[in-house]
Amino acid sequence: MIESSPAQGNNLDPWYNSYASRTAGLAASEVRALFAVASRPEVVSLAGGMPYVSALPQELVTGAMDKVMADQGPVALQYGSGQGVPALREQILEVMALEGIRGSADDVVVTTGSQHALELFSKLFIDPGDVVIAEGPSYVTAMVIFNSYQADVDHVPMDEHGLIPGALREHIARLKAAGRRIKFLYTIPTFHNPAGVTLTWERRLEILEICKSEGILVLEDNPYGLLYFGDRPPAAMRSIEEEGVVYLGTFSKTLAPGFRLGWALAPHAIREKLILANEAAVLSPSSFTQLVVSEYLSQADWRGQIDTFRGVYRERKETMLSALQEHLPELSWTNPNGGFYVWLTLPETLDSKAMLPRAVKELVAYTPGTAFYADGNGRHNIRLSFCYPTPEQIKVGIRRLANVIGGELDLLETFAGTGELSSIRMPRGAFPPSDLR
């Protein structure tokens, strides 16, 4: 029988003092904590970034599965290469070519979702006390990973055109003057999560030049790049610079997240270490999953299916913006040209995290902006996801959210003397500017 004592742990976990120090960064994200609540059928969830997989014809997937098992069953059920199936890696080159990327299948490493690639990359590069530069705001689970490896995240501000190059220069200079070691720039330049904005072509060139001159590696995370609603976005940063950029891709948004299949395209030396890290973590990504996706890419009109997804998400985004304009015209928000998210800015008197319990009580869920900052910022922001709920659910959800915001402002006016509701004040420097409504 194992006995515990105060020296061994605490009342909840007798092994508390045995964990490695890096586990202090393994805190549950606010997005993850929302899933249990948002899964209740009566709650309209505008929180999680779940793709609308019902738009994928089931027979395309079951047909690929049946063919794989009939033709390659023993191979599909066996261990595979730590780098991934060669045929799939060749097909991944075709997918990336749509964003201007040229490369070799030898430099592609297949992973268990791009999240896994992000974790492997962080494991290879981050030592405790290192600095990772990222947009402010940034992808919530990336920061969980960086924190788990005991890195400090330094947020560089954005505007409606993406990461601000001048601010990046200032942050790099400040960090270097303080003797800090910058390991890499983590960026989601296309249809950013959570902000929804896209880095312009001119800024991509400038940011790559800054990082090259400063000797900073760029980690380009691109889950949404093919889900554009109008004009194509600028080509990927990896299409411009090969040696200084590691590119992460995934099938989670253009096929289905349940396959858990992503990849990294990396310079040769980094690729070798990613393969070793992949083998150390999982031996090999799922052979079955890889062969099914490869069969799908070989036989199905996958480009046409991506067009279908674009149409679904375009309609839902337009529904959300129309509902925001109807119910919350005083506020400001981004107008994404692709992806899954709208970034809403609240009045300066409101706190999105503190307001969340009231929202859940009113049967609407969102993700507070604080989830996307490592430094506690984002209290005046909300990420709204339009990818999963139906257009009708989006209308209901925004109406409920407007009621919550109105109720909070009423309380503040009554008990704190915040002034007339007709003169809502926006926080100074709020992102985005009001002309993006």
Q: Which of 166, 266, 247, 248 is nearest to 210 (CA)?
A: 166
| Coil vs helix vs strand at 167 | helix
Question: Would you state the pLDDT for residue 29?
Answer: 60
Structural domains present in the chain: 27-49+305-436 (3.90.1150.10), 59-299 (3.40.640.10)
Question: Would you state the pLDDT for residue 12?
Answer: 78
Question: Would you state the pLDDT for residue 252?
Answer: 97
Q: Does an H or E element contain 246, and which?
A: strand 245-250
Handedness of CA 80, 82, 83, 88 (dihedral sign): positive
Q: Alpha helices, DSSP H only, in 39-164? A: 58-76, 86-97, 114-125, 140-148
Handedness of CA 178, 138, 350, 361 (dihedral sign): negative
How far is it, in rounded angstroms, from Cα 104 to Cα 142?
27
Question: Would you state the pLDDT for residue 422?
Answer: 43
Question: Would you state the pLDDT for residue 8?
Answer: 53
Q: How far is CA 396 from the centre of its chain?
A: 25
Q: Give the tokens for residue 70.
A: 């009939």
Q: Which of 147, 149, 127, 129 is nearest to 138 (CA)?
A: 147
| Coil vs helix vs strand at 436 | helix
320-358 burial: b if 16+ Cβ within 10 Å, else e: bbebbeebbeebbbbbbbbbbbbbbbbbebbbbbebbee
Contact 134, 155 (CB under 8 A): yes
Question: Would you state the pLDDT for residue 418?
Answer: 45
pTM metric for this prediction: 0.90
Question: Would you state the pLDDT for residue 28?
Answer: 63
Per residue of the chain (437 residues), what is the pLDDT tens digit? 444 444 455 557 888 888 887 777 666 666 565 666 666 788 999 998 999 999 999 999 999 999 999 999 999 999 999 999 999 999 999 999 999 999 999 999 999 999 999 999 999 999 999 999 999 999 999 999 999 999 999 999 999 999 999 999 999 999 999 999 999 999 999 999 999 999 999 999 999 999 999 999 999 999 999 999 998 999 999 999 999 999 999 999 999 999 999 999 999 999 999 999 999 999 999 999 999 999 999 999 999 999 999 999 999 999 999 999 999 999 999 999 999 999 999 999 999 999 999 999 999 999 999 999 999 899 999 999 999 999 999 999 999 999 999 999 988 888 765 444 444 444 433 444 333 33
What are φ and ψ of residue 262, in 5° steps?
A: -140, -170
